[in-house]
Amino acid sequence: MLPKIHIVGQGLAGSILGYVLLKNGFEIRISDNDHKSSSSMVAAGMWHPLAFKNLHQSWLVDKLLPVADSFYHELETILGLTLYHHVELVRFFPDILSANEWDERSEHHELINYITDLQDTYVKNNYTQPLGHGVITGSGWLDVPLFIQGMQKYFQARGLYSFSEFNTNNIPESTSEITPELTIFCTGSNMITQAIFNKVLLRPNKGQVLTLKIPQMNLDRMLNFGKFLIPLGNDLFRLGATYELENPNPHPTDEGKAEILSSFEKISSSAYHVIDHKAGYRPATHDRKPVMGLLPDQPHIGLFNGFGSKGVMLIPYFAEEFASFLKGNSGLNPEVSLLRYFR
């Protein structure tokens, strides 16, 4: 008999895991503090298939992208929302080495399906880019706040969602019931406040993002120029982000705003108006890999976390893997297993 699952945290990870577990026959419930500190609610939601350092495929991307595509399109149908946007990404080369690397590796077999040698004429004519640019396919963005709001309504309609300032002191100590209950934490960077997970080397980094209104900017691709610019429609654009390690201030700051806008003004002279400014913490681990599994000394407590800035692409695939693990059908990839912190 499958265990009951209590998921703590209904951000991107908790929402996806909850849906996947339901599909796999688990009885679940989800509690959340109404997203008071969720980094998912300020996430840009952008994904792309490359690692720019040394220009190669992102980890497991050939497996991750098909699962993500299928998953989000399915949820768009179920929720009746437009969430998942395939949009090509234009990368401005930051230095001559990057430009040469693009030319040298553009025909490599592992990259050929993800990059094109075509230039974007609009970008070329309207933005400052002394060293040129490359165009990446297999990229896009998820409207993460809209997705989370839709999933919250989905769980509420089924009586599976509750508001709770849940913490590790509330977890039942025994799993001796006929049908045991597991508590799985999907609490992002808030995990560092929970002592039971103190062996996990989480290294949250703060990100600040802006929403701009830029009239007459006819951009239909995302830009990467050290920062990113994502067209949202109706003259709105998401601009970000900062990467701030060891910054305990959870709020948006003038310094972060100035850093982001300064980068934008170096590539564009377009007039803009700042509509919104938000900040959150990415739950990144020391090795940039997710972390999931059950605590070896308290196997009724688990973790599904650490997806960092690539969560949109990673989470659907690993939610399926975690569901299979909880059903007893398979083990976890050692690279993501919680046990790597207990060896």
pLDDT in tens, 241-290: 999 987 788 899 999 999 999 999 999 999 999 999 999 888 888 888 99
DSSP β-ladder status, 205-213 and 84-86: unpaired
101-105, 190-194, 241-245: least confidently modelled range: 190-194
pTM of the model: 0.93
Model pLDDT, residue 174: 47
- 3-state secondary structure at position 230: strand
- 3-state secondary structure at position 192: helix
Q: Are 18 and 7 in contact (CB under 8 A)?
A: yes
Q: pLDDT confidence of 177, banded at 50, 70, 90?
A: low
pLDDT in tens, 132-151: 999 999 999 999 999 999 99
Model pLDDT, residue 38: 57
Model pLDDT, residue 263: 97
Model pLDDT, residue 194: 76
1-5, 189-193, 276-280, 299-303: least confidently modelled range: 189-193
Model pLDDT, residue 41: 61
25-34, 38-47, 52-61: least confidently modelled range: 38-47
Q: Output DSSP code: residue 337.
A: B
Give the mean pLDDT of the chain.
91
Burial string for 204-241 (b: 16+ CB within 10 Å, else e) reads bbbbbbbbbbbeebebebbbbbebbbbbeeebebbbbb
Model pLDDT, residue 245: 85
For range 174-185, the mean pLDDT: 72
The angle formed by the CA atoms of residues 222, 116 and 124, to the nearest 5 degrees, is 55
Higher local confidence (pLDDT), 236 or 55 = 236
